[in-house]
Every structure is written in C-alpha cells, then in structure tokens.
C-alpha cells in the first residue's frame, strides 16, 4: 500500500497497528484506551486521504493574505497587476468591488469574476487569475521530539522528514504512538502510526499536508492519544476530557 498526496492504492497488508478515525465530537462516547476509540487497519490511511483531485499543489485553495493578479483580456482598465485577499477572503476589483476568493482555486476565481463582469459590464469577458504570493504554509511537531515547533511546509513532506526537522524523537518517545491530526472538509481526523515500522520499510511513510499536527507520545504514559485528548480543548478540537 502506498500513500501519495493523500491518494490510496491497494497493496500489501498492514503489519502493524495503524489507528485513524474521525475525531469524536462527543467524548462521552469514548472509552479509555485507544483501541476502543478508533478502528484499526486499512481504514487508517483511508481516513486521512483526500478526495480524488484534491492533492497538492494542483488544487491550491486561495486564503486571506494571498496575492493574485487579475487580467481581463481587452479591458486594461479592469486588470490588476497585484491585489491581496483581505482578512475576509475578498478581492476588491474595479467596477464590481468585492468578490469572494478564499476557498477557491485560481481557475474557479477566474470563472467567478467572468460571471460578475458578464452580468453587467463586459460582453463575453475572459479573465485569467495568477497566484503570485501565498501565505506561509506550516506543520506543527509536538511531544517527544528534540525540537518541537511550527515548521514551514514543503511539497512532498512526509512524517519522517517532519521528525527530522524536529531533530528526531527523544529517548522517551513511544514510537508506536505518533499521532497525526488533519482537517478534511472541515472535520478533524486523528491517526496513530508506528514509526519503527515506517523507518524499517515495513509500512509506507505518510505524506503530510499543510496544517497537519504531529504529536509524538512518550513511554510510560497512558498513551499519546489520551494525552492529546486532554490537550485538545485548548485548540478547539474536542470538548473537555471528563
């Protein structure tokens, strides 16, 4: 089984414990112990896989602070060399004012602008949007690593390369309790991976995405997943642990 930009292909059987599932929104239903909280097996990698066509960077979605150019062919006065998305994710364009851009690809934004101009101002407009600058995309690495922190995301980054950025795991790290938190379609997902199996080539590495949070557990604890549950109210993923 291989994982590439969130897409799943059939492959060898899982030989170690991989646990992933939608994060519980109601903790009353969750019992102590990770095995009772989430299913194991092939569903693990599938849980954090993106829908077909949503890999990076072909489907980059604009966000506040990004800078784009807007060219309206044959209408120089309507073209803008550089314009930033404001904090609400809007673009301010000649004649039409605010246009929602956040959450759209460049092609989708082009079509949206064409529709607005065509409605009242320009006959058969042709619009091209080019992304010129993007906000810094990051991942976070926490827990039992030598240098926890927030790091710039690079295309193709994996779980192992993220741990390398954090100067690898500590002696106390529990290598079979390395968690990944990811948001897909506005839903937070969580997973547990065995780094020893990945390092040994027995399991595929996991391709990370911007915004992923990696948490490395520590030996002697009740488990990295339960530790993460206790910490999660501070970052708004779960309700408080009872």
Q: Domain 2-56+136-235 belongs to what topology? A: Outer membrane lipoprotein wza fold like (3.10.560)
Q: How many angstroms separate the CA atoms of 99 and 112, rounded?
A: 8
Q: How confident is the prediction along the chain (242 residues), in pLDDT tens digits per residue?
A: 333 333 333 333 232 233 333 433 333 333 334 443 433 344 555 655 655 544 444 567 888 889 999 999 999 999 999 999 998 889 999 999 999 998 899 999 999 999 999 998 889 999 999 998 887 788 999 999 999 999 988 878 999 999 999 999 999 898 888 888 887 766 778 788 888 888 888 888 888 988 899 999 876 545 445 555 555 443 333 333 23
Instruction: Say yes or no: do domains 2-56+136-235 and 67-133 share a fold.
Output: no
pLDDT at position 225, please?
Answer: 52
CA atoms within a 13 Å half-sphere pointing along the CA-CB vector of 155 = 6
Q: How many angstroms separate the CA atoms of 68 and 185, rounded?
A: 24
> 20 in helix, strand or coil?
strand
> 225 in helix, strand or coil?
helix
pLDDT at position 40, please?
Answer: 34
How far, in whole angstroms, is CA 198 from its chain's centroid?
Answer: 21
CA atoms within a 13 Å half-sphere pointing along the CA-CB vector of 81 = 0
pLDDT at position 49, please?
Answer: 60
For domain 67-133, say whether CATH 3.30.1950.10 is its number: yes
**Could you give phi then psi for residue 97, rounded to 5 degrees?**
70, -135
pLDDT at position 134, please?
Answer: 82
pLDDT at position 182, please?
Answer: 84
pLDDT at position 219, please?
Answer: 65
pLDDT at position 238, please?
Answer: 32
Domain ranges of the chain: 2-56+136-235, 67-133
Other Cβ atoms less than 10 A from the Cβ of 149: the count is 12
Q: How many angstroms separate the CA atoms of 179 and 227, rounded?
A: 11
To 5 degrees, how large is the angle CA 143–CA 149–CA 150?
130
Q: What is the pTM of this model?
A: 0.51
> 36 in helix, strand or coil?
helix
Strand partners for 190: 21, 181
Question: What size, in residues, is the chain?
Answer: 242
DSSP annotation of 43: H
């Amino acid at each position: 089984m291989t994982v590439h930009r969130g897409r799943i292909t059939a492959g060898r059987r899982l030989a170690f414990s991989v646990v992933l599932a939608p994060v519980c929104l109601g903790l009353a239903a969750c019992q102590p112990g990770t095995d009772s909280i989430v299913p194991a097996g092939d569903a693990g990698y599938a849980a954090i896989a993106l829908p077909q066509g949503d890999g990076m960077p072909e489907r980059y979605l604009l966000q506040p602070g990004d800078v784009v150019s807007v060219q309206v062919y044959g209408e120089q006065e309507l073209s803008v060399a550089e314009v930033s998305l404001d904090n609400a994710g809007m673009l301010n364009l000649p004649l039409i004012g605010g246009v929602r851009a956040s959450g759209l690809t460049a092609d989708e934004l082009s079509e949206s602008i064409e529709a607005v101009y065509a409605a009242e101002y320009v006959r058969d407009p042709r619009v091209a949007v080019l992304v010129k600058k993007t906000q810094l995309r990051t991942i976070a690495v926490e827990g039992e690593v030598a240098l926890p922190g927030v790091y710039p995301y690079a295309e193709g980054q994996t779980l192992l390369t993220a741990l390398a950025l954090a100067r690898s795991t500590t002696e106390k790290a529990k290598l079979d309790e390395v968690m990944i938190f990811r948001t897909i379609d506005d839903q937070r997902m969580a997973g547990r991976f065995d780094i020893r199996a990945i390092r040994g080539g027995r399991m595929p590495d996991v391709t990370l995405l911007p915004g992923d949070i990696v948490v490395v557990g520590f030996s002697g604890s009740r488990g990295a997943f339960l530790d993460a549950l206790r910490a999660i109210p501070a970052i708004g993923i779960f309700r408080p642990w009872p």
